[in-house]
Structure 1
Amino acid sequence: MVLRIFGLSGVVTVVSLVVALLYGGPEALILCAILGILEVSLSFDNAVINATVLERMSEFWQKIFLTVGVLIAVFGMRLVFPLAIVWITAGLNPADALDLALNPPPDDASHFADGSPSYETLLTDAHPQIAAFGGMFLALLFLNFIFDEREITWLSWLEKPLAKAGKLDMLSVVVAGSGLVLIAEFVAADDKRATVLAAGLLGMITYIAVDGLGSMFHTEDLEGGPSDLVKATGKAGFFLFLYLEVLDASFSFDGVIGAFAITSDPIIIALGLGLIGAMFVRSITVYLVRRGTLQEYVYLEHGAHWAIGALAVILLVSIGVHINEIITGLVGVAFIGAAFASSIIRNRREGDSKEVENEPEVTPVG
């Protein structure tokens, strides 16, 4: 099963590395491998969240996301998205933006001899609005999870009080909106405040719209609650698909921006982040769904959402302060690793308690 799920990702990795070697020699191959590892480390929490949503979708919509959705992730977010930012922010047409990306200034300079900015510089200048949009989308995702009452809690000492506070209607929007105002006021540069506010507000609107549409068409059981036995189809499946695509886009922001600290070559970025990274994230998602890992290790979903909350904070803080991508990746891995370990301990305790309950009673002699 493992070979079947991860086999295609392995083949794609080998092909991508060969293409990188032919394209730019040993240096390009090494950069491509580094970017692939970076994307997988940054996106493991993405795979966990993808799996939680995919479990609610019908088999048809699961296949659509794992095929069409992955293509959008590979070519849309890792290749077209950075180019589109340059088209919009610099006022260049697509052909000029692509030419600028493929022909950087010598010696990795930030500007050409005539003073015009490089592709990497233009994309970096657009980071505040990208981080504001993605940060607010992920912040609402985290807050809606943490303010919701759940039967199972991981960090109970913190999650239970937050769930009680979440009974206040729209608290997640209030907290997220307040955070956006503070970030714009104290973190963003003076000339970026309005842009950050607008981008952050758009991120909030996007989350509310997509999440609301998904909830509107969510299939319910006879008692009015969401049914675990009925998978989302039709419009419900479609809006969950849209939700996953926007979610993947939000997760991709830090990886795409971080990639330019390693190389500005869009071909290497597409091979490393897109093909290698995105394919392994897809395989991890499929593995989690097929093996029922989220049901077996019940705290993984909690760990992934706490990682999302940390990523949202990192994105918003990065509007004014540079944060190393290694830190971003390690924070996510740490939360999920801790949640996984906690799940194992919980399972062992439950197993031990069941063994005690099942032990036959010994009747005393005499």
Structure 2
Amino acid sequence: MRHFLSSLIVTALGLSAAYYWGGAAALLTATFLGIMEVSLSFDNAVVNATVLRDMSPHWQRRFLTWGMLIAVFGVRFLLPVLIVAWVTGHELVSVVVMALKQPDEYARHLSEAHAEITLFGAMYLLLVFLAFFFQENKSLHWVSWLERRLASMGKLESIEVVLALLALLGIQHFLPESERLPAMIAGLAGVILFVVIKSVSTLFEHVGPASDTVHKAGFVSFLYLELLDLSFSFDGVIGAFAITKDVVVILLGLTIGAMFVRSLTLFLVQRNMLEEYLFLEHGAHYAIGALALLMLADTFAHVPEWATGLIGMSLILMSLWSSIRLRRKAAR
């Protein structure tokens, strides 16, 4: 329970603020948005935990404090404002005023950048999925017949990048011609950021004094996690505007969800859940792969948020059940 105490406090404060802002309707909406955020990001928590467990306590604390501020105010509020400012050419202050006083107009401008936003996140998540299963030295397999073949394909240099770029090229044919260039640039940005972060991370594993290397590697892992959260959050932020146009209620609801995801990440690390349930990491990465494909499809055909959350949660529950069965078998 202690792992979720801070989340419960934030929930109480957030729901109280929502009720003060818009009454019972805002309270219910913020509650629903918080639940939606958790359901969409459970796989995010599992993957976060796989990275966080190898970080120093110093960088773990930074991820749970500074990382939370970045996730809430940077990714879920400031970033959409910056996107609308870029799309419209307006100043940041005027966009903030628009978000508060003209939420329909703000949501319309944000939806105009839907393809670019979605493709950036989809490319980054697709590479997270592919990089995990294309590890040549990967020995633990959940879906053995598939994962052994994927691991053998990992012998091909940068195969995950090639496949991601092919997916990006393929999706262009489904987009209106006017959107293709901006969408291509956004998708390439997601690919480039992933490659840079992974390359720098690999470099720090082999170069430099031990203490300096640990510090730099922690910083790179921190950036990796924040970009992962950013890629996940796009889906939730855009989906939230289909439920309400009230930016304050959206921010409060998504803050509650993001806080629970952080607490869940800490719980998984401190209780050694990934060591106890060996296939959880696999299930989370399959869920990430499914989310990436659904985000690609969402650029030209609407994919409901409930479908995204249901598929991801189902894959993780299946991997959890397989892990429990493996433990029982090993105990006999």
Smaller-chain TM-score range? over 0.9
Q: Which residue of 2 aligns with 1:176?
A: 164
Q: Which residue of 1 aligns with 2:233?
A: 252
Q: Please state whether the residue corresponding to 2:243 is helix, strand or coil.
A: coil
CA distance in 2, matches of 1:231, 1:255: 37
1:280 maps onto 2:268 in alignment: no
Residue type of the partner of 1:178?
L
Q: Please state whether the residue corresponding to 1:217 is helix, strand or coil.
A: helix
Q: Which residue of 2 aligns with 1:145?
A: 132
CA distance in 2, matches of 1:51, 1:92: 39
Q: Please state whether the residue corresponding to 1:169 is helix, strand or coil.
A: coil
CA distance in 2, matches of 1:280, 1:218: 31
State the Cα distance separating 1:130 from its structure 2 match.
0.5
Residue type of the partner of 1:188?
L
Q: Which residue of 2 aligns with 1:159?
A: 147
* Residue segments in structure 2 that go unaligned for 5+ positions in a row: none
State the Cα distance separating 1:196 from its structure 2 match.
1.3
Residue type of the partner of 2:88?
A
Q: Which residue of 1 aligns with 2:311?
A: 331
State the Cα distance separating 1:104 from its structure 2 match.
2.7
Q: Please state whether the residue corresponding to 2:245 is helix, strand or coil.
A: coil
Q: Which residue of 2 aligns with 1:98?
A: 96
Alignment of 1:229-268 (within 5 A): 233-268=214-249
Residue type of the partner of 2:201?
G
Is the CA contact 1:32–1:271 (under 8 Å) kept in the aligned structure 2? yes
* Residue segments in structure 1 that go unaligned for 5+ positions in a row: 111-117, 221-229, 353-366
TM-align CA RMSD: 1.6
State the Cα distance separating 1:231 from its structure 2 match.
12
Q: Which residue of 1 aligns with 2:30?
A: 32
Residue type of the partner of 2:203?
M
State the Cα distance separating 1:148 from its structure 2 match.
1.1
Is the CA contact 1:57–1:232 (under 8 Å) kept in the aligned structure 2? no
Alignment of 1:48-87 (within 5 A): 48-87=46-85
Residue type of the partner of 2:194?
Y
Query: 1:309-347 CA deviation, whole Å, 9 max, x = no partner?
Result: 011111111111111011111111011111001000010
CA distance in 2, matches of 1:232, 1:298: 29
State the Cα distance separating 1:219 from its structure 2 match.
6.0
Higher helix share: 2
Q: Evaluate the alpha carbon distance shift between residue 26 and residue 142 of structure 1 in structure 2; reply closer, same or farther with a 3 A threshold.
A: same
Larger Rg: 1
State the Cα distance separating 1:233 from its structure 2 match.
2.1
Residue type of the partner of 2:320?
F
Q: Which residue of 2 aligns with 1:294?
A: 274
Q: TM-score, normalised by structure 1?
A: 0.87
Structure 1 segments (4+ residues) deviating >6 Å = none
Is the CA contact 1:57–1:231 (under 8 Å) kept in the aligned structure 2? no
Q: TM-score, normalised by structure 2?
A: 0.96
Q: Which residue of 2 aligns with 1:135?
A: 122
1:311 maps onto 2:298 in alignment: no
CA distance in 1, matches of 2:293, 2:202: 26
CA distance in 1, matches of 2:212, 2:272: 15
CA distance in 2, matches of 1:169, 1:201: 19
Q: Which residue of 1 aligns with 2:193?
A: 206
Name the count of aligned residue pairs.
329
Match of 2:175 among 188, 197, 200: 188
State the Cα distance separating 1:273 from its structure 2 match.
0.4
State the Cα distance separating 1:218 from its structure 2 match.
2.3
State the Cα distance separating 1:177 from its structure 2 match.
0.7
Q: Please state whether the residue corresponding to 2:20 is helix, strand or coil.
A: helix
Is the CA contact 1:77–1:249 (under 8 Å) kept in the aligned structure 2? yes
CA distance in 1, matches of 2:267, 2:182: 40
Is the CA contact 1:219–1:236 (under 8 Å) kept in the aligned structure 2? no
State the Cα distance separating 1:232 from its structure 2 match.
7.0
Query: 1:167-206 CA deviation, whole Å, 9 max, x = no partner?
Result: 1111111111111000012x21221111111111111001
CA distance in 2, matches of 1:299, 1:259: 31
Is the CA contact 1:61–1:233 (under 8 Å) kept in the aligned structure 2? no
Is the CA contact 1:219–1:231 (under 8 Å) kept in the aligned structure 2? no
CA distance in 1, matches of 2:203, 2:276: 29
CA distance in 2, matches of 1:263, 1:217: 44
